[in-house]
Amino acid sequence: MGLIAGAGYPFKGFKYLWGHKKLFRYVAIPFTIDLIVTGLLIYIYVTQLSAFTGYLDSLGELWYLKPLVWVFRVIGYFLLILLFPFILNLCSALIDPVFRGILYSKTREMEGFPEKNYTPGEGIKRLIKGICNEIKKLILYLTLSLILVPLNILPPLYLVLHILLTALFIGWEFITPYLEEKNLGFLRQFFFVLKRFRVVSGFGLSASLLLFIPLLQVLFLSTHTIGGALLSIDMDKS
């Protein structure tokens, strides 16, 4: 499997979701929760902004207060427009991982590749190990990014290498459940994705481009999870 094949898996994830309606609930439920929590936070923000501008209004008829109130309102609502996608993504980051884990497992199960059942104790150990690996992954990414910095004297080369590095780590992220299922340690995971650099970085390239689309990022995180599950199945088959 090469770069082009890898780039197709995020789109395969979207197509698979569209063709398997029973998976919709695992996307719709967290997305609905995200919207409700985001709406509540926005309501609190708007209420506090109105209370603040109302307080300025109540201070009297001073000539400079009226335009000041309007300035605060314009700035406040402009910030709201800018912050909305970030608030939604933050809610998604806190709420959705459990549902995406279920989505990954259900996809593999529907394709005849059920995951092993774990005891609560084993599940906790896997969770702790996963968190430690994520921290190591972040440190490794930052370290490799710093190593590339001297190449900034050749901007085109630096840009290409940094894009490929980022794509590799994004692709790695979406097949992490598969690697953990195989009980691979951190270094073995790294060498595994390096050995399959083209397909993993291809996945990461198209996945990252789709994640740049505002508001739809939450949906694409779910379809990318399905794409990662489909890629893991094809890796098992090969």
Q: Could you report the per-residue pLDDT of 3-25, keeping only the tens digit for each?
A: 888 889 999 998 998 888 888 88
Can you give the pLDDT at residue 59? 66
Whether the predicted pLDDT of 167 surpasses 80: yes
Please report how many Cα atoms fall inside a 13 Å half-sphere around the Cα of residue 118, on the Cβ side.
13
User: In what helix (H) or strand (E) does residue 56 lie, and over which residues does it extend?
Assistant: helix 24-57
Site of tokens 């094949």 = 5
Distance CA 107, CA 20 (A): 9
Measured CA to CA in angstroms, residue 133 lies from 13, 46, 78, 85, 103 at distances of 25, 39, 39, 28, 21
The residue whose two tokens read 């314009």 is: 74
Q: What is the mean pLDDT of the chain?
A: 83
DSSP 154: S
pTM for this structure? 0.77
Confidence bin at 38 (pLDDT 50/70/90): confident
> How far is residue 130 from each of residues 2, 65, 94, 172, 176, measured CA to CA in Å?
27, 54, 16, 13, 9
The pLDDT of residue 60 is: 62
Whether the per-residue pLDDT at 62 is higher than 70: the answer is no
Instruction: Report residue 55's pLDDT band, with 50, 70 and 90 as the boundaries.
Output: confident
User: At residue 49, does pLDDT exceed 90?
Assistant: no
In angstroms, the CA 235 to CA 238 distance is 5
**Which pLDDT does position 11 carry in this prediction?**
92
Would you say residue 203 has pLDDT above 90?
Answer: yes
Most confident of 26-35, 114-123, 145-154: 145-154
Residue 64 has pLDDT above 80, yes or no: no
Q: Which two tokens stand for residue 156?
A: 């085109």
Kindly tell me if the per-residue pLDDT of 133 is higher than 70. yes
Flag whether pLDDT at 221 surpasses 80. Answer: yes
Angle at 82 between CA 81 and CA 86, to 5 degrees: 110
- Domain tally, the chain: 1
- Mean pLDDT score, 86-94: 70
| Average confidence (pLDDT) over 34-61 | 79
Report the b/e string of 61-71 with b at 16+ CB within 10 A.
Answer: eeeeeeeebee
Q: Are 38 and 89 in contact (CB under 8 A)?
A: no
Domain that holds residue 153: 3-237
Give the span between the Cα atoms of 18 and 12, in whole angstroms.
Answer: 10
Mean pLDDT of 59-82: 73
